[in-house]
Amino acid sequence: MYFPINFIFLFTLSPFWVPSKALEIDSTDPIPSPWPHQFHATTIMNYTGGLRKVDLWYDWPNKRYLHINQYQLGKKLYGVEWQNGTSFYFTLDSTQECTVRHFPVGILRPNWLEGANYMGQRYKDGFLCNVWEKTDFVQYYEDIATQLPVYWQFYDGLIEHIITFEVGKVLEDSKWQAPAYCFKEIEKGKKILQDRKVQDHSLLTSFHERRFKSDK
Ligand SMILES: *[C@@H]1O[C@H](CO)[C@@H](O)[C@H](O)[C@H]1NC(C)=O
Ligand SMILES: *[C@@H]1O[C@H](CO)[C@@H](O)[C@H](O)[C@H]1NC(C)=O
């Protein structure tokens, strides 16, 4: 007797209720902290290339970004990204590999999370976090107690757990220099990174491509 009424009630109300709720803008929603203009973070990343320990140096005043990827029981790959769109991926061991790539966008701005949708609070890695989503791009978890990032997940499956996060830490200039073999012409014997897996799944390559898509 009551079933049909309930059914009709739910069926007719829910399609109207859900979209209006989704469009509602709640001005009390927390907003993600902008990235500090300079920081050093260490992370554990899981991506299709396998697990890696990543050292991440973000330096907005100098418009540069460095990540050092130690693959599990594998190679150590450096990536330096400059605001002019040039990125260098290289090893510093005897393999002397280097790949140079150009991107139509520079490094991530400190406010790159601006405009992300608030998804509520969730526990991640044991921390109570605020969670935001940039549609079709990233889910970003920030510790409520400290406002430090805990975790982010890109839509192509890249997952990164933040282990340490040092605000204001700056890497000395000499460490940003790509090695000389990056500047040789291919004809003169520059070694292209051999490991396609590593090359294709470098964090910044994917970061860039994702960001480029999200900006469009
Ligand atoms: C990494 O991701 C793969 C694929 O999703 C999964 O099978 C594996 O368990 C993950 N490793 C860790 C340490 O989380
Ligand atoms: C971009 O800047 C870097 C670092 O200064 C430099 O090595 C590279 O050649 C520049 N790229 C272009 C296309 O100017």
Query: Which tens digit of pLDDT belongs to each residue from 81-123?
Result: 999 989 999 999 999 999 998 888 889 999 999 999 999 999 9
Q: Are 170 and 36 in contact (CB under 8 A)?
A: no
Phi, psi of 82, rounded to the nearest 5 degrees: -115, 160
CA of 155 to the centre of ligand 1 (A): 15
Distance CA 167, CA 164 (A): 10
User: What is residue 25's predicted lDDT score, i.e. its pLDDT?
Assistant: 57
Closest C-alpha to ligand 1, atom 12: 46
Distance CA 61, CA 17 (A): 46
Q: Does the C-beta of 86 come closer than 6 Å to ligand 2?
A: yes
Which stretches in the chain have pLDDT values below 50?
1-22, 186-187, 195-206, 208-209, 211-216
Q: Does the C-beta of 199 come closer than 6 Å to ligand 1?
A: no
Q: Does the C-beta of 46 come closer than 6 Å to ligand 1?
A: yes
User: What is residue 185's predicted lDDT score, i.e. its pLDDT?
Assistant: 55
Angle at 23 between CA 22 and CA 26, to 5 degrees: 90
Ligand with an atom nearest the CA of residue 106: 2
CA of 37 to the centre of ligand 1 (A): 31
What single string gives the DSSP state of each residue in 82-149? ETTSEEEEE--STT-BEEEEE-SS-SPPTTTTTTPEEEEEEEETTEEEEEEEETTTEEEEEETTT--E
46 CA closest ligand 1 atom index = 1
Instruction: Return the H-helix or E-strand segment holding 15.
Output: helix 2-23
Q: Does the C-beta of 82 come closer than 6 Å to ligand 2?
A: yes
Q: How many residues does the chain have?
A: 216
Domains, in order of start, for the chain: 28-216 (2.50.20.30)
CA proximity to 202, closest of 65, 79, 81, 21: 79
Distance CA 102, CA 14 (A): 48
User: What is residue 102's predicted lDDT score, i.e. its pLDDT?
Assistant: 87
Instruction: Return the H-helix or E-strand segment holding 211.
Output: helix 203-215
Q: Are 64 and 83 in contact (CB under 8 A)?
A: yes
In single-letter form, the type of residue at position 77 comes to L
User: What is residue 149's predicted lDDT score, i.e. its pLDDT?
Assistant: 98
Ligand with an atom nearest the CA of residue 104: 2
